[in-house]
A = this chain, B = another copy of it.
């Protein structure tokens, strides 16, 4: 079943069929009907490959994720990806996923879907290497960043309100009368973590609470459970009087809770702890983790919506969307005794 069969059946040229498919206004209502019924009768659908070849539109969006994010057990980026998938379905796109080595490993090998011209645009989730970004700029593909964006260049991005969330988290602890509040970070070089940290500091400042060097641990290699465990150990050693902890994400919070439990501290009676992200496991710890919920799927769907606008309307300027976060109070935080 090709366009030719439809043309023959409807007794028009293939060009007319094509114009009908792309509903060009140049076609009369009458022939449109005729063609459409032929299409229906023959159960015809235009072939992607043929369309793509001449129109240079593939109907695909490339999704780039770093390997370490892909493999993490907390499905943070996975949720973003699924949100993107879902929205792509609505917008009649398909999403091609690829992973690239972590930002640290310098690498500028481009994803195959770029080389093969098999995507109309690219969504990049998380921190990727600068080399990759500059290699990508050789192509004229629109790019939407998620939860990260490269400094300097003007680009389109969907970001989390990390600063606001950091502030909200900290204010929650302050409202529970805590005075000695600590921040547990992984690698502070990641912009998201940095902004959460800044929100933390600004909240302390706003309430005239002290902030010393032993109120934070920000020198772990990344934000994993293991490092949360280690960070909590360091923190308690340097600052035994701490009564509340704001962990930069749930993984770190969970790791920290494991350390606290192993040392006989009771959460939230001895120490309150709040996380960030609201990943599935946060709901299942004992006690359940109070956290700042990030609408992960929304991040993905917003990215696709933004990409869609970029593709539909060439004159849309690149811009940034910030999605809000929400305090979810569970059982790991309590009023200071």
Listed in ascending order, the chain A residues whose CB lies under 8 Å from chain B are 45-53, 58-60, 70, 73, 75, 78, 82, 85, 89, 92, 94-99, 112-113, 115-118, 280-281, 283-286
Contact = CB atoms under 8 A, between A and B. Distances in A.
Q: Looking at chain A's contact residues, is the secondary structure mostly helix, strand, loop, or mixed?
A: mixed
A98 to B, nearest CB: 7
B98 A49 contact: no
Contacts of A92: 112
11 contacts: A47-B116, A48-B49, A48-B58, A48-B116, A48-B117, A48-B118, A50-B53, A52-B52, A60-B94, A75-B75, A92-B112
A12 to B, nearest CB: 22
A52 B47 CA distance: 10
Contacts of A97: 85, 94-95
Nearest to A282: B284
Contacts of A82: 70, 78
Nearest to A95: B97
A53 B47 contact: yes
Contacts of A47: 53, 116-117
A48 B47 CA distance: 13
B49 A117 contact: yes
A285 to B, nearest CB: 6
A82 B63 CA distance: 14
A203 B97 CA distance: 43
A49 B118 contact: yes
Contact of A46 (B49, B50, B116, B281): B116
A285 B117 CA distance: 46
B58 A49 contact: yes
Contacts of A117: 45, 47-49
A15 to B, nearest CB: 18
Given A47-B116, A59-B116, A284-B284, 18 more contacts: A47-B117, A48-B49, A49-B50, A49-B58, A49-B118, A52-B52, A59-B118, A60-B94, A75-B75, A89-B99, A94-B96, A94-B118, A95-B96, A280-B280, A280-B281, A281-B281, A281-B283, A284-B285
A75 B297 CA distance: 14
A112 B46 CA distance: 11
Question: Most chain-B CB neighbours within 10 Å: which of A47, A48, A59, A113?
Answer: A48
A94 B111 CA distance: 11
